[in-house]
Amino acid sequence: MFPIQLRPKVRRNLIVAALTISIALAFTSCGCSELSCQTASPVSSKRAATSQAVERMPDFKVREVGGREISSATLKGKVAIIDFWATWCPPCRKEIPHFNRLYAKYRDQGLMIIGLALDEDEAAVKRFSQRLAIRYPVALASKEVQQLFGGIEVYPTAFLVSREGEVIKKYLGYTYPDEFERDISALINNDKLR
């Protein structure tokens, strides 16, 4: 058998197509777990409701990128979003500007957002946080901290925590900003979540 000779233009088009498919697969794999795959589409209210659980927030301690300690005690008396994310996850990156806006809007009313990065390179997370101008505290999430929250299998995963330390809602995958805002506002105003 003789190898097939392709014209340079055809060969280039095949290479571009293969690279495009590879990149698309890499981006859609964010949000996948070992058992199931979450696409980067938003989580609906019904789906988020199935992830609701009224549990106590676990006791945890992490060190903020840049130094200061953050713990479950830091959140006492505050409504909190604890967001597990990664620098390489497009849906995670898409949520950051919305969290910045929510943090600026509700911080004085008792909201705390903590971004727990699943990356292992603290310097890379710090650079990433500066580049995206993340306004809320960011720390690395060790495997132990991930396990305290029941294991993180989908990226992003966020937890809504009441002032009393109860985990009110768990959000799997990218979630619409208005859903976060509605839920945060309800907790801050002591209303029931829809």
pLDDT tens, position by position, for the chain (194 residues)?
455 666 777 667 767 666 566 554 444 444 444 333 343 333 334 344 434 444 889 999 999 998 899 999 999 999 999 999 999 999 999 999 999 999 999 999 999 999 999 999 999 999 999 999 999 999 999 999 999 999 999 999 999 999 999 999 999 999 999 999 999 999 999 876 65
Q: Note the pTM of the prediction, 2 decimals.
A: 0.74
pLDDT tens readout for residues 14-40: 676 665 665 544 444 444 443 333 433
Domains and CATH numbers, the chain: 45-188 (3.40.30.10)
Which pLDDT score is estimated for 18?
Answer: 62
Which pLDDT score is estimated for 115?
Answer: 98
Distance of CA 163 to the CA centre of its chain: 21
